[in-house]
Structure 1
Amino acid sequence: MSALTLDRVRLGAGGPLARVRVEGGRVTQVVAEAEGHGASDGEERVVDLDGRTLLPGLWDAHVHMAEWASARHRLDLSGTASARAVADRVRDHGGRVPGGAVLYGYGFRDGLWPDAPHKRLLDSALPDRPTALVSADLHAVWLNSACLALVGRSEHPTGLIREHEAHEVLSALPETPADVVDGRVADACEAAAARGVTGIIDFQYGDTVGDWERRSAASAPAVRVSAAVYPSHLDMAVKRGLRTGDETGASGGLVRVGPLKLFTDGSLNTRTALCRAPYPGLDGTDGSHGIEQTSPRDLVRLMRRAAAHGIEPAVHAIGDRANTVALDAFAAVRCRGRIEHAQLLSPEDLPRFAELGVTAGVQPRHATDDRDVADRHWAGRTDRAFAYAALLAAGARLEFGSDAPVSPLDPWLAIAAAVTRTDDDRPAWHPEQRLSVPDALVAAARGRRLIRVGDAADLVVVDADPLTADPGTLRAMPVHATMMNGRWTHGPY
């Protein structure tokens, strides 16, 4: 394979001009511009990047890839301010799309609505066509009567179904053919590469490893993939001898086994995140504390079994009580792993991430998306919500994700949200929890801070220096080109 030199490239945010040589999928030379070109083998290709900024490739460390790929083809309900507004949008959309297949929508957030989702509203909008609307946090589904009948739940009183039952309902709906899903996933991976993404951790529900083995047998993905294992597939993974980090499928190392995904609680928007203090009830009295999805005993048991076979756990924990339970489980098992979301933390738990070697997989866009819902339902506690600066100061390792389709698969939205703590004209929300641009870039690159000889040639070239970019430019960062494993996956080359 001939060598490739990236010439006149700025090495990192605010960095010097340099030349970077790539060969065999790896960085083989990094030379400051003043030091000259170095040796050439005569087959070297040179790409002049004209002073653009070169960064380590970015990752989305939490995505539901098939859900995101499908959501890109579904009715978008984000930004709707009431159940009535959703019904109006369904009526308008359903009238324009022919056919009797299930109408899917996604992205509604009912935590601040003045009215409650109900099947009657959807029935009035679209009575004959089955309609299934998935909430932005993926923890609830809202069905009309036709869709309830389709899944055998005609007697459900409201049509709004949450948590485990919601996943059961979605699983009971007609499946999209695998080849259609795979085509959408391939398109979504290419779109991710166009935003500088070189890798993802895919937490899609189901047999995620098997799905990616099938896809990689057909063609190499445009991004690296770490495919999660769910408890329902743990026995099979153990039987096959799969371990976190192992190559799987026919991908040449691009698809690997990821962590075991476990749940301690629900979500903030559905008021099911497990918290020490109760949620305020609709009548002003105290409501519930959230839900416990997995008991502490079962959590330890599953984590211990996985760790004994080389599979690292990734534990979903959003409420402060849930995060304590998750950290206690890591302390009991003494294994490496991750806590996904870590949205509300008790002060005494902040240093435990570093002490236990647990990565905080966080989604900065959630902080800006959910600031109003947090102010209402976590009133008086938001100084320790989405506490990224406090986690970093306590020595924790942060890795950014989107949780797509909860927020878009675009790492620059996460970086900008972490740096600014706002995504509109309002002042920063808890600005004390802002991160610097360099720290945000590291978290978006799974810990890579520098481009070094020997590293995998997973690189992104951007047209603006993130260190000096204004917030708008940072969010919409113009990506000139993306390279993964030494090959261009986006750009003019």
Structure 2
Amino acid sequence: MTDGPVLLHGARTPGSPRAVDVRLAHGVVTEVAPAGELEARPGDEVVDARGATVMPGLVDAHVHWSQWAQVRRRVDVGHARSPEEVATIMAAAAPGAPGLVVGHGFRAALWSRPPHKDVLERAAPGVPIALVSDDLHAVWLSPAGLAHLGRDHPTGLLREQEAFAVMGELSALPDPGELDRWVDAASAEAAARGLTGIRDFEYDDTPSTWVRRAEHGLSLRVEAAVWGPWLDATLDRHHQTGDVIGHLVRLGPFKILADGSLNTRTAACHHAYPDPDDGHGALNIDPGDLRDLMVRVARHGLHPAVHAIGDRANAVVLDAFAHVTGPGRIEHAQLVASEDVARFARPGLVASVQPAHLVDDRDVAERHWPDVHARAYPYADLVAAGARLELGSDAPVAAPDPWAAIAAAVARTGDERPPWHPEQALDVATALRASCGGHLEVRAGEPADVVLLDEDPLHADPGTLRAMPVRATVLAGRFTHRAG
């Protein structure tokens, strides 16, 4: 899928007035030299960078890509402030909609009343409705929606494993060819924001799905994670994390859910939630079983990637990693006990974090983690302790815009309010490195995944970072985005 050689003339390096020429050929950065030293060769496409900043392409370290592609075809209820408001939105969308009416994005953590199937029934009698929560840990169904999916439930609000099963069924509703077209469109939009890679945690046989898609060409480099139902088949094929399984596709880590989420109040915490019904949240797996599973997959060359949001869940996962040989990841790490921060510096461990969540959930954290929210999203403490951070979006929980994530990590706010716990802010360079493989310079010998920016991000304020104009994106030496 690589095109012919490309010679970028006169690009700037981040934070420096130094201009460079960069040659890309055969999917690799072949040369980087001071501006004016590289001459065009026959067959080169010569691009005058005109002083644009060149840096490695950005990677979203945590997405659910099929769901992101589908979300934009679902009814958006993300701004609704009550169950009744959601029901009104869904009722307005119901006329003329064929079959199940699917919405996305409800956020019940700040509502005074919980979602209930009867609220949907009163607004839209007999209409099959399914709503996926913003955090992907709950599904809210109307009575007809429950019947449509062959289920019965006293409230219609399904959480955790019950919800994941329904989300899998909803993701299977589009024709695979149609879903692939939606994925292609989403990938092209992501490339326009400078993304060259994603790590996809879609709950599916994700590696097989991406190998099939790669046969028709991709706009992003993909690491495709493995989930429990497909573990044995993966081991039978002797595949390991990092193996090339298709063009631009590698096998990703093995995903495990240690707990739930903040918005659904299922994140496992040392403290109790204010609502007694929520208790301390819950672990989704026994600690001993978690340890044994992590040890097993690591022994076969699969890197464990463990979802942990509450401070108890993070402690349990860190305990388990003490028995694991080799690399691994903790996904989210939203609330961390002070005594556990230093344990994230374990060699080979990545703290995969999503800064947009701290912007979206600061009010939720203050309500449901009232005494401990100063320890939420502790990015600066993790970096100071020697942890390796990677930034992502958790799309569709947040849009897969790397610049929104970088700006949130730096500014700790997304509106007119002052920064939330600014002592945990990252400097721009650290946030950028956590988004593009650990370094900011394009280097010879590395994949030809690069981005050209109209602004130097190291000299940009948060507003400029958030709206960063991307002039061009190159994946494996091929332009996937060009502005103008």
2:240 alignment partner in structure 1? 243
Select 1:425's aligned residue among 410, 416, 430: 416
2:453 alignment partner in structure 1? 462
**Counterparts of residues 305-320 of structure 1 (less than 5 Å):** 305-320=296-311
**Counterparts of residues 74-89 of structure 1 (less than 5 Å):** 74-89=74-89
Question: How many angstroms does 1:15 deviate by?
Answer: 4.8
Residue identity matched to 1:127 = P
DSSP 3-state at the match of 1:413: helix
1:184 alignment partner in structure 2? 182
Residue identity matched to 1:295 = D
2:440 alignment partner in structure 1? 449
2:154 alignment partner in structure 1? 157
| Aligned residues of 1:273 and 1:322 also touching (Cα < 8 A) | yes
| Aligned residues of 2:266 and 2:278 also touching (Cα < 8 A) | no
Residue identity matched to 1:213 = V
Q: Taking structure 1 as the reference length, what is the TM-score of the superposition?
A: 0.94
Distance 1:56 1:15, change over 3 A: farther
**CA–CA separation in structure 2 for the residues paired with 1:406 and 1:230:** 19
**Counterparts of residues 192-341 of structure 1 (less than 5 Å):** 192-217=190-215, 219-249=216-246, 251=247, 254-281=248-275, 287-341=278-332
Structure 1, unaligned stretches of length 5 or more? none
Question: How many angstroms does 1:45 deviate by?
Answer: 2.6
Residue 59 of structure 2 is aligned to residue 68 of structure 1: no
Residue identity matched to 1:440 = A
**CA–CA separation in structure 1 for the residues paired with 2:17 and 2:418:** 30
**CA–CA separation in structure 2 for the residues paired with 1:429 and 1:203:** 29
Taking every aligned residue pair, what percent have the same amino acid on both sides?
51
Question: How many angstroms does 1:92 deviate by?
Answer: 2.1
| Aligned residues of 2:137 and 2:264 also touching (Cα < 8 A) | yes
Question: How many angstroms does 1:83 deviate by?
Answer: 1.2
**CA–CA separation in structure 1 for the residues paired with 2:361 and 2:483:** 37
| Aligned residues of 2:352 and 2:392 also touching (Cα < 8 A) | yes
**CA–CA separation in structure 2 for the residues paired with 1:228 and 1:396:** 22
| Aligned residues of 1:94 and 1:103 also touching (Cα < 8 A) | yes
DSSP 3-state at the match of 1:248: strand
1:344 alignment partner in structure 2? 335
Distance 1:15 1:300, change over 3 A: farther
Structure 2, unaligned stretches of length 5 or more? none
Aligned structure 1 segments of 4 or more residues deviating by more than 4 angstroms: none
Question: How many angstroms does 1:305 deviate by?
Answer: 1.6
| Aligned residues of 2:451 and 2:472 also touching (Cα < 8 A) | yes
Distance 1:125 1:186, change over 3 A: same
| Aligned residues of 2:59 and 2:196 also touching (Cα < 8 A) | yes
DSSP 3-state at the match of 2:225: strand
Residue 145 of structure 2 is aligned to residue 147 of structure 1: yes
Question: How many angstroms does 1:441 deviate by?
Answer: 0.7
1:23 alignment partner in structure 2? 25
Question: How many angstroms does 1:337 deviate by?
Answer: 0.6
1:117 alignment partner in structure 2? 115
| Aligned residues of 1:13 and 1:438 also touching (Cα < 8 A) | no
Question: How many angstroms does 1:286 deviate by?
Answer: 8.3
| Aligned residues of 2:168 and 2:203 also touching (Cα < 8 A) | no
**CA–CA separation in structure 2 for the residues paired with 1:355 and 1:313:** 14
1:3 alignment partner in structure 2? 5
| Aligned residues of 1:319 and 1:343 also touching (Cα < 8 A) | yes
**CA–CA separation in structure 2 for the residues paired with 1:14 and 1:82:** 50
**CA–CA separation in structure 1 for the residues paired with 2:185 and 2:278:** 43
Distance 1:5 1:93, change over 3 A: same
DSSP 3-state at the match of 1:408: coil
Distance 1:396 1:87, change over 3 A: same
Matched pairs, number: 481
2:345 alignment partner in structure 1? 354
Deviations along 1:149-208, one digit per CA (max 9) or x if unpaired, are 112334x22111111111223345562221111111111111111110000000000110
**CA–CA separation in structure 2 for the residues paired with 1:122 and 1:287:** 23
2:166 alignment partner in structure 1? 169
DSSP 3-state at the match of 1:467: helix
2:124 alignment partner in structure 1? 126
